[in-house]
Every structure is written in structure tokens, then in C-alpha cells.
Structure 1
Amino acid sequence: MREGLIYKALSGFYYVESEGESFQCRARGVFRKKGLSPLVGDRVKFQIENEIEGYITELLPRQNELVRPPVANIDQVLIVMSAKEPEFSLNLIDKFLVIVESYDIMPSLIVTKKDLLSEEEEAFIQDKLDYYHSVGYSTHLISNLEDQSAMLHMLVPGINVLSGQSGVGKSSLINAARPESNLETGVISNALNRGKHTTRHVELIKTSQGYIADTPGFSSLDYAHIDKYMLKNCFPEFVAAADECKYRECLHVNEPKCAVKASVGETILQSRHDHYLQMMNEIETRKVRY
């Protein structure tokens, strides 16, 4: 019996790295009976059948997991947005941040395509990134291939997930961090103002710093697992101010003597509270799933 890391899942096979070797594995039927499914990023025990094939027999305990993209044991999520093409969106940034926070995973924020900006546009985006940095997030504004070493400085040891819309430059960033990966880069669809999907499966790509998970791009975000009480805790600056609220369970919406609302426009960015209220409304009006 050996232990290893699932670095790719494709067509019912799981590709496991163990002590510098790679094995193509199937999962034992016991996982289906238990309602379990191995994920990329899982540490597993497996039984070797021959030189290159085996069977996964056990999933080791997970630190965390994402449903979309399906990756386990994540150390950092790099939220990749573009400054242009598709257009920079604070609303989308906040939705991504909330989802990552809800899984108690460390997010970092990368905005690409700086080279397409005017000085005024760059100053606007940098000002917003300075705010997110003040809240506690690592932020970066870069040109796609500005500096091949820049991407490596953003990675943490372990598993780093790139997440964001298609067409924002995720594959280009991976190519910069590890040129030999040579991933296909996408072409922007002007009609839809979003990228064509170029990544078709989740795979961990090894770098000198750890692993990068290249994940299928997506433009819709699902936070059905988040309720209104969890939502307020996904905004770090709200948590910091909430001790001064009159009511312990203050939702920072209509309650009197709310310290969060009192800070909006001063120490809390107006757009952050606006997007919070939008998400709160979506959560309170969504249909119950059975």
C-alpha cells in the first residue's frame, strides 16, 4: 500500500503522484457506496496493480474542499480578474471573495492586463486594490507576462487554485510560472465579452513553489451553501467593526446603531456594503432546494 496525491482526474481515472512516480488509478466501488468521490488534491492510499496502474483504497482526511472547481486540500485561492476584456468588476471580486471566505480558505487577488489601462484607469483600480490590501488580502496588478517570476512570488507552498472568469489570463499566468506547461490560451469572444473555455479538466501543475490547479473558467457563481449569518462573517472588515454594533446578531442592514453601516463611506468601501446587501437579498429571496 502506498500514499500519494491525486493531481489529475479525467474520464473516470485518477492520476496519483507518489515518490516522484505517476500511477493511473481507478477508485474502489466502496467509495460509491459511501457517497464519496475522490478529488484532485486528495491525499490517498492506493494499491499498485502493475508498474503504472493501481486502485485507490482510502481517502485521507481533507483539510477543505471546493465544489466548483472540484479541488481538495487548498492552501490558497488566487482570484484572477482582468482590468479590461472582460471589464474590471468589483461586484464579481466581492462574490469570489465571499465564496472563498465561506470555505475558510486564504484568498489573494490578481488583476491582469495592466498594460491595457490608461493612467487614470490604473489609478482607479490600484486605489481599490489598496483597500482590499488594507482589509488583509494579498493583491497584485500585473501585465500578463510582465515578469515570469512574478507569478512564483504569489504562490504559497502546497496547492494554489486559480479561479475567475474565462479570458482573464489564468492560462497565461501558469505559462509564465512554468513555461513548459504551455497551456492553450483563450481568445476573447467580443459578442459575449467573456472568454471561450480552454481548460476542460482540473489538473495540478507542479512548480518550484508547490502546485497550481488550472481550473475550468466559469462566469456564474453559486453560493447556495451560504446563509445570511455566514455571509456577514465573509467580510473581514465587517467582522472587525461588528463588536461596536448595538445588537450582537446585527446583520448590518436596517438595525439601529450599527457600527458597520456607520463606517460605510469612511473606513468601509461603499461598494462592499452595496454588494453585501445585494447578496443578502439574493439569499433571503432564493427558493428552498429540496
Structure 2
Amino acid sequence: MPEGLIVKALSGYYYVKDNEASPGDKAIQCRARGLFRLKGKSPLVGDRVVYELTENGEGTVTELKPRTSELVRPQVANVNVAVLVFSVKEPDLSLNLLDKFLVHIENEGLEAIICFTKMDLIAEDDVQTREEVEQARALYTSIGYEVLETSSPQGLGADRLRERLAGEISVFSGQSGVGKSSLLNAMFADLDLLTSEISLRLGRGRHTTRHVELVDLGSGGYIADTPGFSQLDFLELGVDELPSCFREFAALADGCKFRGCTHLHEPQCKVREALERGEIAESRYKHYKAFYQEMKDKKRRY
């Protein structure tokens, strides 16, 4: 039987793009077999499936292939990469918010690409901003993250990011106004209308319908423009899981004296020792402590 990828789910229908389809071919409208409901496992956008065609030209999803990942918000399966889009100006770069996004991405087990946008807005004589951006790039690169600098008007970084996302299922996340749609349009000129349509379908502004849809990038890759990480409140993350979401902490945790070390007050903590030696950035540790306290406060509240 044929196999394909669910690119949209709406009103009980699943739209499957056949693996052998050409770029311009439409997805096949399918229903799902009742056995999925009996098993308590519904198909998701991003699922790779086996389906069979019916007499009316539609189809029936008969089997779900194993998932490599499953996001709760947004509900999408098999995402490989999260592109975290942060502007360096208008709005200014917020490392606190970036670290909060990274915590969620690490908790989901996704690969993260940090994308600094609007590089063209840094004036030639704005030495301070340029130094701050360079320091941030060096910091997150040293931790092990891939960092790209982009400018949509200049086309800076668009080719590199396009190549990077080929063959991947990715999500773009970031605060409003950082230039996600402009970056997508610089990368893929024929997405001009699609990005607007996706935003409307996802319920921004006056619209209320919400669903995830994968857009074919024409390079073997798909992207979900999604509101999925807009509310970063840690409700889906346990406080005990927070330390492992800071990569440089996780690499040192096994050397701490106490198992389950919070890295806040315990003696012989390798993370705090590394902080004192300047091997861990003060900004990262400061944000870690703030997130830890925020999570403890929420736990008491709920």
C-alpha cells in the first residue's frame, strides 16, 4: 500500500502527501481507521503513514509509522529542528527569552538553530550592539548550538538556512515582530502568500481557527509556522528536569557530589565550580536560577 506524510489535519480529515508525489500534486484527503481511537493514539500532522485509496478518490490511513518526536503544543510529530528566531534590533535581543526557548526545545529533544535576524538594522557606529551580538554568538556556539546571522533585505544567511533545512521537518519559533515571515520569504520567494495564509489559519489577530499545517519547501523539507512555543510557562516541565535542559550543566552534573544536584547551594557542585572559574556564562546561570524559582513558585500555586 502507498505511504505518505500527513501535512494537514482538519475536521476529522487527514491530508496525506504521497511519498511518490510531485511537488505540485495535491495531498489526498483521508479518514483514519477506528482502530486508532480504540488504541488511544490519533494521527498527527507530521506522521508518516500507510494509507489505502477508496473508490471516491479519497483515502483511509491504516498505519502510523514510528515517531521520532511528538510535540504537545503544537500537536505535530517527527519535527527534527526548531529554528529560534530572535532579532538583534526592534525588538532588542533578549538572552533571557532565548534561554527560556532553549529550555523548552531541549526538553522536547529537538535540535535547535539560533537565528539572529535584522542584522541590517545595526548602525555602523553602534559598536555596543555589534559587540553584544558577537558575544552572544560566541557564547551559544561554545555551548554547542548552531548560530546564524541573517538579514532579510540583504539576503544574508538565507541560502545557508535553506540548505540547512533541506530534508527536515522544522518549526520556526520566536516572539512577535522578529521577522520570521520576512526570513521565510527571503529563503523561499514562492511562500509569500503561504506565510500570510498560515498565520491567519493559526488564529492570530481576529481569526480563531487553529491548526498546524506543514508547508512543502520544495527541498525535501517541510516547515510548520506555528504558535506552539508562544506561552513559555514551564507547565509541561518538571523542576527536576530543568538542569538537564542547560547543555553545559548536563555535561558536568555527573561530577557533582550529590545525585540530583540543583546546582544552587549544594557543596562540591561542579556547575558552580565551573561558574567560579568563568567556564559557564554568568547570564546562563542567572537565567537558570530565575527559571528554577519561577517553576517552584508555579508548583506551589497549582
TM-score range, shorter chain: 0.7 to 0.9
Within 5 Å, give how 1:4-15 maps onto structure 2: 4-15=4-15
Supply the distance in 2 between the matched residues of 1:134 and 1:160 (Cα, whole angstroms). 23
1:155 to 1:112, Cα distance in 2 relative to 1, 3 A = same
Query: Equivalent of 2:283, from 246, 271, 286?
Result: 271
Residue of structure 2 aligned with 1:253, choices 264, 268, 293: 264
Distance 1:33 1:85, change over 3 A: farther
Where in structure 2 are the equivalents of 1:1-290 lying within 5 Å? 1-18=1-18, 19-20=20-21, 21=25, 22-50=27-55, 52-118=57-123, 119=126, 120-147=128-155, 148-182=158-192, 183-184=194-195, 201-207=211-217, 208=219, 210-216=221-227, 219-264=230-275, 266-287=278-299
AA aligned opposite 1:31: F
- Give yes or no for contact 1:5–1:17 (8 Å, CA) kept in 2: yes
Aligned to 1:189: none
Q: Residues 14-34 of structure 1, C-alpha deviation per residue, up to 9 Å, x if partnerless? A: 211111052012223333333
Deviations 1:9-56 (A, max 9, x none): 234322111110520122233333333222211011222124642122
SS in 2 for 1:80: strand
Say if 1:25 and 1:222 are closer, same or farther in 2 by CA, change over 3 A.
Answer: farther
Task: Write the letter of the residue equivalent to 1:121.
Answer: T
Distance 2:59 2:170 in 1: 27
The alpha-carbon deviation at position 84 of structure 1 amounts to: 2.6
Letter matched to residue 96 of structure 1? F
The Cα RMSD (Å) is 2.7
The TM-score, its normalising length taken from structure 2, stands at: 0.83
Distance in 2 separating the partners of 1:289 and 1:12: 37
For normalisation by structure 1, the TM-score amounts to 0.86
What is the DSSP-based 3-state SS (H/G/I as helix, E as strand, rest coil) of the residue aligned with 1:150? helix
Distance 1:184 1:213 in 2: 10
Q: After alignment, is 107-116 or 239-248 more displaced?
A: 239-248
Which 5+ residue runs of structure 1 have no aligned equivalent? 187-194
Identity of aligned residues (%): 47
**CA contact 1:200–1:216 (8 Å) conserved in 2:** no
Report the Cα distance in structure 2 between the residues aligned to 1:48 and 1:289, rounded to whole angstroms.
Answer: 51
Point out the structure with the larger helix share: 2
